[in-house]
Amino acid sequence: MKIVVYRHKGQAGVGLVSGDLKTVTPFDLPANERALGALPIIEALAGGAALPAALAPLALSDVQVGAPLPKPRRNIFCVGKNYHAHAKEFAGSGFDSSAAAGDIPKAPIIFSKVPESVIGPTDTIELPVGVSEAIDYEGELAVIIGKGGKGIKAQDAMQHVWGYTIVNDVTARDWQSRHSQWLMGKSFDTFCPMGPWLVSADELDGNNTTVRCFVNGELRQNASTTDLIFSIPTLIETLSAGITLYPGDVIATGTPVGVGIGFKPPKYLQSGDVVRVEIDGIGHLENPVR
């Protein structure tokens, strides 16, 4: 199934997207739950409940699609240097505070983005004028946790995956380098485009799909998730070893080679650019930069 969050005639809604991507069947939810996007649905399904009652379908073209989790329950878990070619690219950029430990990490590098950085799949990425002039893009597959847990073993981890979405892990590279940590430079307002919807794990194999990113129509990133250094089960095992995971938690699995900092000179985002991230089996984000 595909769960979409949208606005229609000024009202927030959550519903199922049809297989032909032409209609949305809204769920009959109270306003306070609709404001949380898909989160109440994921929590209910994880608890064994059925889907809410359905309302009359709407044309997908008549609604404004938003981030499927506009208010994540907590910070988004992110993974640094998780594709082999990107790990080498970033280690040689001069901006990698972890480079002293080697190009390829020996264990997952985990950081996070604050929930307030999330925007929708067509919303504007806002350049922080006067704050940073080194804004970069990072197209990524994001895992959505269904059944929560702690101490999850890799062999059982996929049972805890509800599904997937796309994120663009927008980054202020100079802040990432200056502060020798990644949270602040990753968490500026509008720095986490997400969407266009959540796709359930029975419709997509996140361990074998392709991530692409275009800037102004130029293909910059193109890689399969089979190239991940640390697989989705390994990431879930690592995170849950000491942290309880909950339904609706988001894990961004890392970005492929081809980010702006990897070019000489770097190709940072500029006002007027358009960034498109697409993943086979999900769809695409397309965000203007201002």
The sheet carrying 283-288 orders its strands as 218-224, 210-215, 274-279, 283-288
- Report whether 201 contacts 159 (CB < 8 A): no
Q: Are residues 60 and 112 in the same domain?
A: no
User: Mean pLDDT over residues 271-277, rounded?
Assistant: 98
Q: Are residues 144 and 26 in the same domain?
A: no
Which letter, b or e, does each residue of 128-160 get, where b requires 16 or more Cβ atoms within 10 Å of its Cβ?
eeeebebbbbbbbbbbbbbbbbeebeeeebbeb
Q: How many CA atoms lie within 13 A of 256 on its CB side?
A: 21
User: Mean pLDDT over residues 88-109, rounded?
Assistant: 73
Q: Please give the tally of structural domains in the chain.
A: 2
Q: Are residues 156 and 238 in the same domain?
A: yes
- Cα separation of 243 and 149, whole Å? 9
Check residue 219 and give its pLDDT: 98
In a domain, 42, yes or no: yes
Q: What is the pLDDT of residues 41-96, one digit of tens each?
A: 999 999 999 999 999 999 999 999 999 999 999 999 999 989 987 777 776 666 66
227 — pLDDT class (breaks 50, 70, 90) = very high
In a domain, 70, yes or no: no
The token duo for 114 is 């604050």
In a domain, 20, yes or no: yes
Q: What is the DSSP string of 105-125?
A: -SS-EEEEE-GGGEE-TTSPB
What CATH number corresponds to the domain at position 210? 3.90.850.10
Domain that holds residue 218: 76-288
Q: Are residues 16 and 49 in the same domain?
A: yes
User: What is this structure's pTM?
Assistant: 0.95
Question: Chain centroid to CA 204: how far?
Answer: 15
Residue bearing tokens 């399969």: 224
Residue 265 has pLDDT above 90, yes or no: yes
Residue 100 has pLDDT above 70, yes or no: no
Q: How many CA atoms lie within 13 A of 212 on its CB side?
A: 14
Q: What is the pLDDT of residues 109-137, one digit of tens each?
A: 999 999 999 999 999 999 999 999 999 99
In a domain, 254, yes or no: yes
Q: Are residues 105 and 213 in the same domain?
A: yes
Query: Considering the chain, what percentage of its residues have pLDDT values greater than 90?
Result: 89
